[in-house]
Chains A and B, each alone.
Chain A
Amino acid sequence: MAVPGSSSSRRRRRRRRKKGSGGPPRLPQKGLGRVWGSGHRPPARPRGWGLCCPSPAPPNPGGGGQAGTPRPSRGTRWGGRIPEPRGAPVCYRPGGISLSGGTGRQTGPAGDPTGQSGLGKSTMVNTLFKSKVSRKASQPGQEERIPKTVQVQSISHVIEEKGVKMKLTVTDTPGFGDQINNENCWDPIIKYINEQYERYLREEVLITRKRKIPDTRVHGCVYFVPPTGHWLRPLDLEFMQRLSKIVNVVPVIAKADTLTLEERAEFKQRIQEDLKTHAISVYPQADFDQDPDDRLLNDRIREKIPFAVVGADQEHQVNGKRVLGRKTKWGIIEVENPAHCEFPLLRDLLIRSHLQDLKDITHNVHYESYRVRRLNESNRPALSPLNGLPGKGEGSSNL
């Protein structure tokens, strides 16, 4: 039984990283291979959902075509419902990611971290997915020249949790913003995103098309802003202006352990003003809130955008517990402590609550506008090369 809203096609959220993994993909497994590091451990004691996710209490079950599953479910923006997991037992490590995929099929997201080199993008992606999905640039012996043009490199992994498999594709863009002259350094990135839309479009308009169209579209772009503490730089503004029109952009303040709490609050406010002045709509976009519940939830998130994050992949001992953090001479910065940084909020947004939403918006909004543009362009000549699709205006959308 299909779960409406959450499409059964694989959607991969690409994460673009500006610099970093120059090497070949670490784990070249495709298909159903599990990539989760240290082997499958039995679930530990359960943890309440409330601890992990800021979403409000789930609405009444039984809404919207969710036959068969008695679980409470959460409304998505597009009418379908996603089953909420019950108390998510810890799988591999404390705070394990809980994904709701329902059918156990691969529902891979694709993510795209973007930002200048050295802002901690690889570490962040590794911390988010608790596995070494991206290879860090600062490894010894690795040739690390700053490339002259922005390149786009993709690595795919299949990760699994509690029977739910996810094909994660992280797309990196080394070379962004590193040169002296950075004009048009966003062009290769825009080209790449449009190429993925084009690929999907071509598959979609075929006469005999596959049941599950391979989805290589970028679902989310995480943009790393350097923690200068002043304003957004011209480069950041230009990039986000252009990209927020074609993909979901989530700005984050990278390496936020260099800002005190007051500085952080001021910086965020200035960034929000900047975004408003330049009419850059970042994810979650205010135009797409469907019902008041969603609006409330998203408003709360919008107040905190951009999240000030700190990434870490080393564990330290704090008060008898092992936590992920950075150990400095003046203290240990705990990555998962909400008093220290906003990494848990980012993780919850991207994975636990809004992952499906990201995919939906990509599919229903960004892809559609791309499609409309393309069809309008290529309708001047007839569309017969594309397998006899009827002319303008009749391309019905079953999506």
Chain B
Amino acid sequence: MSTGMRYKSKLVNPEEKQDHEKQYVGFATLPNQVHRKSVKKGFDFTLMVAGESGLGKSTLVNSLFLTDLYKDRKLLNAEERINQTVEIVKHTVDIEEKGVKLKLTIVDTPGFGDAVNNTECWKPITDYIDQQFEQYFRDESGLNRKNIQDNRVHCCLYFISPFGHGLRPVDVEFMKALHEKVNIVPLIAKADCLIPSEIRKLKERIREEIDKFGIKVYQFPECDSDEDEEFKQQDRELKESAPFAVIGSNTVVEAKGQRVRGRLYPWGIVEVENQAHCDFVKLRNMLIRTHMHDLKDVTCDVHYENYRAQCIQQMTSKLTQDNRIESPIPILPLPTPDTETEKLIKMKDEELRRMQEMLQKMQQQMQDQ
């Protein structure tokens, strides 16, 4: 779905050109103008990866964007891990391709699901996402809106372990806690340990369980009816292969005389970009080549708006409780003052009221006199 295809301008022959010139206003070039501006401005995208450690998240991110974001990573040893809590780690990288700049932010969640007791291990993650929404809300309601930094999470890749028989309780709880806040794309990690029949069974199982628990994962939008058949076929295949079974690798191996990215085993070579081996290509196409903008749109139009509506409702209910006048523009609560200043404010309020009462009395006396 490239811009070129969408907005193909009709080719006219020179004879008809004159006629067309009369009726041609010229706003068909708008998309090109938009294109130029946005290319100059650059794009940004925030991707969150979540899942147990050891499922190949970092490798997959490196493979997707052909970068090495995790160069100096040090794996923790056993003692450090026992007391680990879930952290949020951000890596930002600027990449450029054919003149188009992308500011890519990867939000990693080390420690998720690793402890013996994983109750509420998704809380730091939901808090982080809410924080980003809140920050954007403040910026949007602020006075200077020129340079708002958009740190909202556009997509969350959730890695499901292939070693289980479907979704585990921690998977279900995580997805249920997050499906209204972010676009969740479930993936089956390390798919090279599964034979094709097992992959099929696992995918069916996961799809059933997602339906059963009412988890709203990211749905691919329907393609327009004027797209060509090949595109529709691709779209259908994409939908049928969710959740994607992926394998990641950044090492290049030699297979059949060609150099490909893959993993070398004694019994064969797994090629990451071979569609028959895994769904990596489908994921990459979906995430980057076709649906990146849609992910951002859904985040802005759906998740952020839900958050905003909730936030405003909470604030207005608080305001009516305090009996103040409702203002048309929702006043953002100032950062909560500490108790001393609150006391001061209350005292001043009292004083004001007393003075007002005195004034009223005096006015009445004067009137009576």
Contact = CB atoms under 8 A, between A and B. Distances in A.
Given A118-B163, A329-B277, A330-B277, A227 B263 contact: no
B195 to A, nearest CB: 5
Interface string B224-262: 000000000000000000000000000000000000000
A73 to B, nearest CB: 36
Residue among B75, B192, B195 with most chain A CB within 10 A: B195
Contact of A117 (B119, B164, B271): B164
Contacts of A340: 266-267
A260 B165 contact: no
Given A328-B192, A328-B195, A119 B163 contact: yes
B334 interface: no
Interface string A33-58: 00000000000000000000000000
A370 B112 CA distance: 38
Interface in A97-116: 116
Contacts of A331: 265, 267-269
A258 B115 contact: no
Residue among B161, B163, B170 with most chain A CB within 10 A: B163
A117 B161 CA distance: 11
Contacts of B196: 328-329
A231 B75 contact: yes
A273 B79 CA distance: 12
Interface stretch (A149-157, A173-181, A379-387): A173-181
B267 A332 contact: yes
A234 B55 contact: no
A257 interface: yes
A146 to B, nearest CB: 7
B353 interface: no
A227 B268 contact: no
B346 to A, nearest CB: 44
A237 B119 contact: no
A230 B268 contact: no
Contact of B276 (A238, A327, A329): A329
Interface in B185-201: 190, 192-193, 195-196, 201
A327 B195 contact: yes
A146 B175 CA distance: 18
B337 interface: no
A228 B270 CA distance: 18
Contact of B263 (A182, A228, A233, A260): A260
A72 interface: no
A258 B79 CA distance: 26
A86 B255 CA distance: 45
Nearest to B80: A231
B269 A180 contact: no
A355 interface: no
B36 interface: no
B270 A330 contact: yes
A144 interface: yes
A263 B271 CA distance: 17
Interface string A221-259: 000001111111111011000000000000000110110
Given A226-B54, A230-B75, A234-B116, A178 B168 contact: yes
Contact of B78 (A138, A178, A181, A274): A274
Contact of B116 (A119, A238, A332, A333): A238
Contact of A137 (B79, B115, B165): B165
Interface string B10-40: 0000000000000000000000000000000
Nearest to A224: B163
Contact of A182 (B55, B118, B269): B118
Nearest to A257: B193
B253 to A, nearest CB: 10
A137 to B, nearest CB: 6
Nearest to A183: B117
B76 A231 contact: yes
Interface string B95-130: 000000000000000000011111101000000000
Contact of A227 (B115, B117, B193): B193
Nearest to A182: B116
Contact of B163 (A116, A138, A261, A332): A116
B135 interface: no
A31 to B, nearest CB: 35
A8 to B, nearest CB: 41
A136 to B, nearest CB: 10
Given A137-B165, A178-B169, A260-B263, A231 B77 contact: yes
B54 A230 contact: yes
A259 to B, nearest CB: 9
A255 B162 CA distance: 10
Nearest first, the 3 A-B pairs at minimum CB distance are A228-B54, A331-B268, A258-B193
28 contacts: A117-B165, A146-B168, A180-B173, A181-B117, A182-B117, A182-B118, A183-B117, A226-B54, A226-B161, A227-B54, A227-B193, A228-B52, A230-B75, A231-B81, A234-B78, A238-B116, A258-B162, A260-B265, A273-B77, A277-B77, A327-B195, A328-B268, A330-B267, A330-B268, A330-B270, A332-B268, A339-B266, A340-B266
Interface of A: 19, 116-120, 137-138, 144, 146, 178-183, 226-235, 237-238, 254-255, 257-258, 260-261, 273-274, 277-278, 326-334, 339-340
